[in-house]
Structure 1
C-alpha cells in the first residue's frame, strides 16, 4: 500500500480516550470520561444526548476553546486531506493560543456555535466579521475578501448581499443570523465543520431550510460534519453514523440505520421512544425517561444510567465500571446486558 493510499484510509479526525475534568468546590467533575470516535472524510457523525452529557465540551475540545478550568487529556489526531502533513497532528498537544492551532481553527476546522443571537459581536457589521476570518486564512486583499464574503452570503440564501454586508447583527432575524454564521464557518472551505445544536434557536419553518443548506454545502465542499444535537429527527436526516452520549461517555455507536432499527442500550431505546411519530396514536402520551442526568462529581465506578434504567441488574450495574462490547465491526455498546461478564454470570 502506498503512503497516499494509507493516508486516504485514515480518518480525518480520531478522538481517543478524551477526558475533561473540572475542579469544583465539592470535588472533581468528570465532565467527559474516556470518549472515543472517528470522523471520516466527507461523512457526518452525529453526537446525540441530553443536555449536560458533555457534548459541547467534547466538540469544543477539538479546537481548544474550552475554559481554562477544563483539564483535558487524551488525544485528538487530525489528518489533513490536503496532504500538508504526512503524519496526523495531535490537536491536544498544541498551545490553545499558539500559532499552529490558530492556523487550523477556522481554516481547517470550523464551528457553528449553538446560539446565533450572541455569536456575532454587536459592535461590528456582519460583513466585517465574516471578512475577518477570510483575511486571516485566505487572502490579505480586502477587495477579494469582500467578494468571497458576498459569494458566501449568496450561497446561504441571503439576498441583497451588498446591503446585508453593511448591516449589524441586530438588523438580522434569527434565521438570517444562523445563515450568516454558517457562511462565516464555511468561508475558508474547512475540511471539518462542527455544528453545535445548529437549529436550536430557530423556528420549525427555518430548521429544515438550514439543514438542507448544510447538506448541499457539504456536497459542494466535500467536508466532514460533526453534528451535535439532542434531536434524533435531525440525526436521522443528516448523519451517516451516530454516537449516543450519556454522562460524559459514549454508550452506543453505530451507523444511523442500525441505531434506529436495532438500538441496544436502554438509554438509546428511551430516546427513540420519546420521539413523536407521524400517524401515531394522538391520544397516547409520549414515553419519557424518568429522572435527569446526574452531576458527575466523585462518582463511584458504576453505570451512570443505573438510577434511570428499567433493565438494570442489581449487584452488577451499580458496583463496577461498564466495559465496551463490540456487537459488530460497526456497532459498539457500553452495557452489562451485552457484556461477556454478565453472560458468564
Structure 2
C-alpha cells in the first residue's frame, strides 16, 4: 500500500483519552473525562448534549484556548494534508503560546464562536480584523489581503462589501456578524472548522441561511467540520456522524442516520423524544428528561446518567464506571444494558 493510500485512510484529527480537570474549592471537577473521536477530511462530526456536558471545553482544547485553570491530558493528533507541510502532530504537546500552535490556530484549524460580539473587538472594523488573520497566515501584502477579505465577505452573502469592510461590529446585525465571523474563519482556507453553537443566538430564518452557507462552503473548500450544538435538528441537517456527550463522556457515537433510527443509550433516546415533530399532537406535551446535569466534582465510579435514567440497574449502574460497548463497527454506546460484562472501566 502506498504512503498516499495509507494517509487517505487516516483521519484528519484524532482525539484520544482527552481529560480536562479543574481544581475547585470543594474538590476536582472532571469536566471532560476520557473523550475519544475522529474527524475525517471533508466530513462533519456533530458533538451534541446539554449545557454543562463539556462540549465547548472539548472543542477549545483542540486549539489550546481553554483557561489556564484547565489541566488537560490525552492526545490530539492532527495530520496536515497540505502538500508542502504534511506532518503529524500531537497538539496537546505544543505550548499554547508557541509559534507552532499559532501557525495552526486560525490557519489550518479555525473556529466559529457562539457569540460573535464577544469574539470581534469593538475597537476595530470588521475588515481590519479579517485582514489581520490573512496578513498573519497568507500574505504580507495589504492590498492582496484586503482583496481576499472582500471576496470572503461576498462569499458569505454580505452585499456592498466595500462599505461593510469599514464598519464596526456593532453596526452589523446578529446574522451579519455571524456571517462575518465565518468569513474570517474561512479566509485562510482551513482544513478543519470548529463551529461552537454557531446559530444559537440567531432567529430561525437566519439560522437556516447560516447552515446552508456552511454546507456550501464545505463543499467548495473540502474542509472537515466539528459542529458543537445542543440542537438535534441541526445535527440531522449537517452531520455525517454524531457523538452524544454527557457529563464529560461520549455516551453514544454512530453515523447520524443510525443514531436517529436506532438509538441505544437512554440519554440519547430522551433527547430524541424531546424533539418537536411535524404533524404531532399539538395538545400533547413534549417528553423531557427529568433532573439536570450534575456537577462532576468528586464523582464516584458510576454512570453519570444514573439518577435521571428510568432503565437503571441498581447495584450495577451506581457501583461501577461504564465500559464502551460496540453495537457494530461504527456504533458505540456506554451503557450496562448492552454490555456483556458488568465489570466497569478503570478510571
Is TM (by shorter chain) over 0.5? yes
3-state SS, counterpart of residue 271 of structure 1: helix
Give the distance between the partners of 1:86 and 1:139, measured in 2 at CA. 20
How do 1:201-212 residues align onto structure 2 when only pairs under 5 Å count? 201-212=201-212
Indicate the residue corresponding to 1:222 in structure 2.
Answer: 222
Instruction: Give the gaps of 5 or more residues in structure 1.
Output: none
Aligned counterparts of 2:87 and 2:14: Cα–Cα separation in 1: 13
Secondary structure of the residue aligned to 2:341 is helix
Deviation sequence 1:221-271 (CA, Å, 0-9, x none) = 000000000000000000000000000000000000000000000000000
1:324 aligns to 2:324 (yes or no): yes
Per-residue CA deviation, residues 149-205 of structure 1 (Å, 9 max, x unaligned), is: 000000000000000000000100000000000000000000000000000010111
Match of residue 28 from structure 2: 28
Deviation at 1:83, TM superposition (A): 3.7
Alignment of 1:56-205 (within 5 A): 56-85=56-85, 87-205=87-205
Residue 119 of structure 1: how far off its partner (Å): 1.4
Retained in 2: the 8 A contact 1:49–1:55?
yes
Q: Is 1:276 aligned with 2:270? A: no
CA distance in 1, matches of 2:158, 2:70: 38
SS at the partner of 1:45? Answer: strand
- Comparing 111-120 with 270-279, greater Cα deviation is found at 111-120
Distance 2:27 2:258 in 1: 38
Matched, 1:238 2:238: yes
User: Per-residue deviation at 1:59?
Assistant: 0.1
Runs of 4+ in structure 1 off by over 6 angstroms are none
Distance 1:23 1:74 in 2: 18
Q: Deviations over 1:308-344 (max 9, x none)?
A: 000000000000000000111000000000001249x
RMSD of aligned alpha carbons: 0.9
1:206 alignment partner, SS class: helix
- The gaps in structure 2 that reach 5 residues or longer are none
Is the 1:53–1:246 contact (alpha carbons within 8 Å) kept by the matching residues of 2? yes
SS in structure 1 at match of 2:205: coil
**Number of residues paired by the alignment?**
343
Q: 2-side partners of 1:108 and 1:117: how far apart? A: 23
Displacement, 1:282? 0.4
Distance in structure 1 (CA, Å) of the matches to 2:209 and 2:34: 35
The worse-fitting range, judged by mean Cα deviation, of 77-86 and 328-337 is 77-86
Conserved 8 A contact 1:116-1:201: no
CA positional deviation for 1:117? 2.1
Secondary structure of 1:22's counterpart equals strand
Cα separation, 2, equivalents of 1:228 and 1:45: 9
| Cα deviation digits, residues 96-122 of structure 1 (max 9, x gap) | 000000000000000001112211100
**Contact 1:8–1:81 at 8 Å: present in 2 too?**
no
Normalization by structure 1: what TM-score? 0.98
Give the TM-score normalised by structure 2: 0.98
Displacement after TM superposition at 1:84 (Å)? 4.3
| CA pair 233-174 structure 1, distance change in 2 beyond 3 A | same
Distance 1:128 1:331, change over 3 A: same
Verify: 1:252 aligned to 2:277, yes or no.
Answer: no
Distance in 1 (alpha carbons) for counterparts of 2:88 and 2:302: 34
Deviation at 1:5, TM superposition (A): 1.1
Aligned to 2:10: 10
Alpha-carbon distance in 2 for matches of 1:329, 1:86: 29
